[in-house]
Structure 1
Amino acid sequence: MDVHGTVAEGFEPVREAFARNFATLGERGAAVAVYRDGRRVVDLWGGTRDVDGTGPWERGTAQVVRSATKGVAAAVLLLLHQDGRLDLDAPVGHYWPEFKARGKERVLVRHVLNHRAGLPVLDRPLTPQEALDPSRGPDALAAQAPVWEPGTDHGYHALTYGWLVDELVRRVTGQGTGRWLAERISGPLGLDLWLGLPEAEAGRAGRVGRVEGPEPAGGLRARPKRSVSQAYQDPDSLTRRAFAAITPFPEQNDPAYRAAALPATNAVATADGLARFYAALIGGTTGTSRLFTPETVERARAEESAGPDRVLVVGTRFGLGYMLHGTASPFLAPGSFGHPGRGGALGFADPESGIAFGYVTNGFRKTVTADPRAQGLVRAVRGVLGA
């Protein structure tokens, strides 16, 4: 399988790791991009655009990135805070009065981002059609009682995170997260990154590849007495219920799904778009300024939640909207922050080294975090920096 693209001098091991993914790990189509101090040092792609083997992957091929979307959506809330429009320590009900029902008066905006809101499940899951309606998810969460005392523990809000974020953005700005992202981040920076794929992009032949459906959840690196795979098989577990907040999950290749804006799950991006997004957070790229102030970077990656995750079972670490480097989800170094997507995608930034990383794939796996293909690429980057 031919690998296309370029690497800067010294980053050849990343090309080798990328090729190994196809040779030994069953990669079908993927791309990886890496920036260092705002300069692109890795830009690789290979395989087929569609998981079923249709069409070659090209430099501009984009894919659904699943939960890597969460890191993109988090930036919107943090930028609203940075602009003085949103108080992270205010109750969610201050901006969204209907949300206060059923014991949620003390849920803070901060709890939405650090997965401590106690709202990872819906007592009545939404249908796919309901989930694509931007009002139905927030209405369901406004009527939902927390499953633990908000603020006292953490558990991954796999799907509900998106509705919580989106409704806060709407209440503060009058716009959905996808539109705000397009007007304030993706458009001005020229990123191939969308939350709600525009019709013009959807209509471009070969622009977005077809992805594989994910297997049941699994693949976390830590091995507790009860694995996430076992928990997922239990219909009464928070794990199963969290991932089943939409039942059945929408077909990810459906144009209607791609056109909707679900800030937990359905951003569409190229590897370069995802990497440049993280580069912009920490320092900007050639011709662009940084998005986050140094204070906001520290706020994003300061540990807010750590330890056994009530949904993912193993120990996880979260800042404000971002996963942090740890056993369950290794990034480049202890100061890195970002977000994986269930099945493979990964985006993160490491301010100390100036690295911003983006990986997208059409061959989803059962992993929630720590996909071996992405991890091989991360290890290669780490090795280059160590050398």
Structure 2
Amino acid sequence: MSIEGFTEPGYDEVRQVFQRLVDSGRETGAGLSVWREGREVVRLNAGWADTGRSRPWRGDTLVMPYSLSKAFVTLAALSAVRQGALALDEPIAKYWREYGGRGKEGTTLRHVLTHQAGQPRFPAEAAGLDLLDDAALRDSLARAAPEYVPGTSLGEHALTYGHLVDGILRAAAGTTLGALFNDVVRPALDLDAWFGVPDSALDRVADLEYAHHDWPQQLHAAPWLGIPAGALDTERTNSQVWRQSVFGAVNMHTTATAMAEFFSRLTSEDGPVRQLLGPQLHTELLTSQVTDHDEVFGTRITWTLGFVRDKGKIAKGGIGGSAAWWSLRHHHACAYLTRRLDDHSRAAEIAAALGDDLTVVGED
């Protein structure tokens, strides 16, 4: 497979690594973008956007990056905080009354955004629900007891993150996660990213495929991803109904260029994220909030409000291999988005070519 795109001088090694991934068959469809000093210095596309291998991957190809989506759920929640609809440290039950029982009376939005709310998975009672039955899934979270006392432990809210925020926004702000993102956040940040892909962009969406037939079973996070069934089933996730629905924890669809540009402007004091949130919430967004062993990740990790942070980067990735980050050391941003669901070794090799390290996620 040939590679299409460009690299500015000084980024030859990045292109060479990307070429090796393609030549070895480890990559069958992906986009890579690097931004520095306000411009895109690398844009590379390789492989195919569809399982039939008839549509080449292009710079505007959209793909679902799984948990990278969560960072934008956070922005929707914080934009509602800035509007005064709710507060980070008030009990959720003040707004969402049905939620305030069985040990969740003191759970706050901050607990949710830092993965400390004790609901890293949907309860067993939700096993029979359809993946896209939003109301029933929200209700299952409201009725369930947390797995630990909120604020006392850590575990990424793998599939529940978006439904928790959506429930809070519906109760406190009278809007939905999808509406707030698409009507407020996305335009403010000028993002080619969608919760609910519009008809006009469906032909740009890439099909997901497993690198190995047993990929779902190999995931450390598999126990947190099985209820409700279907989030790892490519027959479901490649369907039009899924692409045009909102499942906030995982199903934003976006491009590598859009994500690298976003991360390149994430920390800027005159950038669009700070303008969207205001100085106080922008600082909160980027500040390390909690460091502990994350049972879903299986490692010690530092969370901000929605991102992973260490001494070298602010980042977010998703199962399957997609990742994006801002390098605190080198002041560039990179996004590697793939449709071939495998581990993160491909993004890690790209990061190494840039002098970054995706393996270090410890204390800031």
Global fold match (TM > 0.5): yes
3-state secondary structure, aligned to 1:338: strand
Pick aligned residue for 1:254 from 236, 239, 249: 239
Give the letter for the 1:3 counterpart. Answer: I
Superposed CA deviations along residues 314-339 of structure 1, whole A, max 9, x for unmatched, are: 323211121224xxxxxxxx252231
User: What are the equivalent positions in structure 2 for 1:109-188 lying under 5 Å apart?
Assistant: 109-121=109-121, 122-127=123-128, 129=130, 131-188=131-188
Contact 1:125/1:245, CA 8 A, preserved across alignment: yes
Superposed CA deviations along residues 297-354 of structure 1, whole A, max 9, x for unmatched, are: 44223332323223333323211121224xxxxxxxx252231110011122345644
Structure 1 residue 216, shift from structure 2 partner: 2.5
| C-alpha RMSD of the superposition | 2.6
* Match status 1:95 vs 2:95: yes
Contact 2:313/2:327, CA 8 A, preserved across alignment: yes
3-state secondary structure, aligned to 2:56: coil
Aligned to 1:74: 74
Identical residues among aligned pairs (%): 30
Structure 1 residue 134, shift from structure 2 partner: 2.7
**Distance in 2 separating the partners of 1:105 and 1:346:** 35
* Match status 1:323 vs 2:308: yes
* Match status 1:379 vs 2:356: no
**Distance in 2 separating the partners of 1:302 and 1:188:** 22
Give the 3 Å change call, closer, same or farther, for CA 24–285 of structure 1 in structure 2.
farther
Contact 1:71/1:321, CA 8 A, preserved across alignment: yes
Give the 3 Å change call, closer, same or farther, for CA 120–26 of structure 1 in structure 2.
same
Contact 1:120/1:155, CA 8 A, preserved across alignment: yes
Give the 3 Å change call, closer, same or farther, for CA 135–256 of structure 1 in structure 2.
same
Aligned to 1:209: 206
| Structure 1: unaligned runs, 5 residues or longer | 220-227, 233-238, 326-333
**Distance in 2 separating the partners of 1:38 and 1:285:** 12
Structure 1 residue 11, shift from structure 2 partner: 2.1
Structure 1 residue 145, shift from structure 2 partner: 0.5
Give the 3 Å change call, closer, same or farther, for CA 166–352 of structure 1 in structure 2.
farther
**Distance in 2 separating the partners of 1:274 and 1:284:** 18
Aligned to 1:268: 253
**Distance in 1 separating the partners of 2:266 and 2:79:** 10
Pick aligned residue for 1:278 from 242, 247, 263: 263
**Distance in 1 separating the partners of 2:268 and 2:15:** 25
Give the letter for the 1:323 counterpart. Answer: V
| Structure 2: unaligned runs, 5 residues or longer | 357-364
User: What are the equivalent positions in structure 2 for 1:297-336 lying under 5 Å apart?
Assistant: 297-325=282-310, 334-336=311-313
3-state secondary structure, aligned to 1:349: strand
Superposed CA deviations along residues 72-123 of structure 1, whole A, max 9, x for unmatched, are: 2112122333444431111111221110021210111111011111112312
Superposed CA deviations along residues 213-266 of structure 1, whole A, max 9, x for unmatched, are: 4712557xxxxxxxx3xxx6xxxxxx61x2112124351101111111111011
Superposed CA deviations along residues 259-303 of structure 1, whole A, max 9, x for unmatched, are: 111110111111112222323433399999854555444422333
Pick aligned residue for 2:320 from 317, 333, 343: 343
**Distance in 1 separating the partners of 2:109 and 2:272:** 33
Contact 1:36/1:353, CA 8 A, preserved across alignment: no
User: What are the equivalent positions in structure 2 for 1:54-69 lying under 5 Å apart?
Assistant: 54-69=54-69
3-state secondary structure, aligned to 2:347: helix
Give the 3 Å change call, closer, same or farther, for CA 32–13 of structure 1 in structure 2.
same
3-state secondary structure, aligned to 2:237: coil
**Distance in 2 separating the partners of 1:20 and 1:336:** 25
Count residues with an aligned counterpart: 349
4+ residue stretches of structure 1 with deviation over 6 A? 284-289
Structure 1 residue 172, shift from structure 2 partner: 3.3
Aligned to 1:225: none
Give the 3 Å change call, closer, same or farther, for CA 208–248 of structure 1 in structure 2.
closer
Contact 1:160/1:245, CA 8 A, preserved across alignment: no
Give the 3 Å change call, closer, same or farther, for CA 186–265 of structure 1 in structure 2.
same
**Distance in 1 separating the partners of 2:331 and 2:90:** 32
**Distance in 1 separating the partners of 2:328 and 2:172:** 29
Pick aligned residue for 1:245 from 214, 221, 227: 227
3-state secondary structure, aligned to 1:359: strand
**Distance in 1 separating the partners of 2:92 and 2:305:** 15
3-state secondary structure, aligned to 1:135: helix
Structure 1 residue 53, shift from structure 2 partner: 2.3
Contact 1:304/1:320, CA 8 A, preserved across alignment: yes
